[in-house]
Amino acid sequence: MNSRPVQFDRFGPPDVLAVGPFPEPHAGPGEVRVRVETAGISPVDLALRAGSSPSSGKLALPHVPGVDAAGVIDEVGAEVSGFAVGEEVFGAVDVARLGGASAEFAVLRFWARKPGSMSWVEAGAAGTSVETATRALDGLGVHEGATLVIEGAAGGVGSVAVQLAIARGARVIGTGRPGNHPFIAGLGALPVAYGAGLGERLRALGVDRVDLALDVAGAGSLPELIALTGTAASVLTIADFTGPGLGVRVSLGELGGEPGGRHGLPIAAALSEEGRFRVPVWETFPMSRAAEAHAAAGKGPRQGKIALTVSH
């Protein structure tokens, strides 16, 4: 049977996207299929569509983009226990498939129950942002009492990382454009302007010690972050591939298919129920306007993610 997801049959700008017939996916072992309510748009989706990702060559065209989705389970694969048809969940696809979530039906490889405190729009945008942020914080060893700088705190991953780090008991300093400072402060971080001279600005704010730094912006700030923390071992980036040359670890988390447990989503769900976590979403579009959604997601600085809503 065919469904009508977003898809593209050639690489290019957002207007290569269209909604059209495509074979329905089905849950395999260790997977569930959901009737999608909302789907998030991630940077990897934009790069794959444009043909600029090293993984673009792996795609069989036409391709359905999207890695994050939330919806109601309508198929449960073999080897799955504890979940049943009709349950509301949020999560992400098998990263090896490089897509499939911007659709009426999506097969999730990892997921958690959607709490009532989390809207469908938030849940659909959460999956890989939560897991990528969680792995980065784990990699840095963020702990209670640590002072952490997050470079690029207003974006999809940065805004999530701020909240998860604060939940661990860390003091968080978030860099961003001055226009984003109220938003960053609302997440619980101390906002500061990004760019050269970060150390001086922090000292002027009374911050005399930075233990750890997470770069999610990829804006060339790694040397300054190393200077702030005193060692490259205390800095981790998810966006700057010059990192290894400076002794800085690079983590792509879920988007990079890194091995390891996936425990961020249940933590985020629990924090949401406690009123301590939200998924910032900048703008939503119906699936029929996926090209506009991709264009908005590619425009640069914003507060949170872009999401697609799905009508059935």
Label the pairing between strands 105-108 and 110-113.
unpaired
- Residue 263 burial (C-beta neighbours within 10 Å; 0-12, 13-18, 19+): middle
Look at residue 259 in the predicted model and tell me its pLDDT. Answer: 47
Spatial contact of 257 and 96, defined as CB atoms under 8 Å apart: yes
Spatial contact of 165 and 137, defined as CB atoms under 8 Å apart: yes
Look at residue 253 in the predicted model and tell me its pLDDT. Answer: 61
Q: How many CA atoms lie within 13 A of 25 on its CB side?
A: 27
Query: In this structure, what token pair is assigned to residue 302?
Result: 């914003």
- Provide mean pLDDT across the span 24-36: 97
* Per-residue pLDDT reduced to its tens digit, 165-207: 999 999 999 999 999 999 999 999 999 999 889 999 999 999 9
* Per-residue pLDDT reduced to its tens digit, 141-154: 999 999 999 999 99
Q: What are the DSSP calls for 146-186, one per residue? A: -EEEEESTTSHHHHHHHHHHHHTT-EEEEEE-GGGHHHHHH
* Per-residue pLDDT reduced to its tens digit, 240-251: 999 999 999 999
- Residue 214 burial (C-beta neighbours within 10 Å; 0-12, 13-18, 19+): buried
- C-alpha span between 90 and 176 (Å, rounded): 28
Helices marked H in 141-297: 156-167, 181-186, 198-204, 222-229, 243-246, 264-273, 290-297
Q: Is 256 left (phi over 0), alpha (psi -120 to 50) or beta?
A: alpha
Look at residue 2 in the predicted model and tell me its pLDDT. Answer: 72
- C-alpha span between 253 and 92 (Å, rounded): 13
Domains of the chain in start order, with CATH, are: 2-129+257-309 (3.90.180.10), 132-256 (3.40.50.720)
Mean pLDDT of the chain: 94
- Provide mean pLDDT across the span 107-127: 97
Torsion of CA 167, 168, 171, 177, to 10 degrees: -60
Look at residue 70 in the predicted model and tell me its pLDDT. Answer: 98
**Main-chain dihedrals φ then ψ at residue 260, nearest 5 degrees:** 130, 170
- C-alpha span between 181 and 173 (Å, rounded): 11
Q: Which residues pair with 229 in a beta bridge?
A: none
Q: Which residues pair with 38 in a beta bridge?
A: 70, 309
Query: In this structure, what token pair is assigned to residue 174?
Result: 């978030």
Q: Which residue has the tokens 């988390």?
A: 253
* Per-residue pLDDT reduced to its tens digit, 123-138: 999 999 999 999 999 9
- Provide mean pLDDT across the span 105-133: 96
- Provide mean pLDDT across the span 20-36: 97
* Per-residue pLDDT reduced to its tens digit, 255-275: 555 545 578 999 999 999 999
Look at residue 3 in the predicted model and tell me its pLDDT. Answer: 87
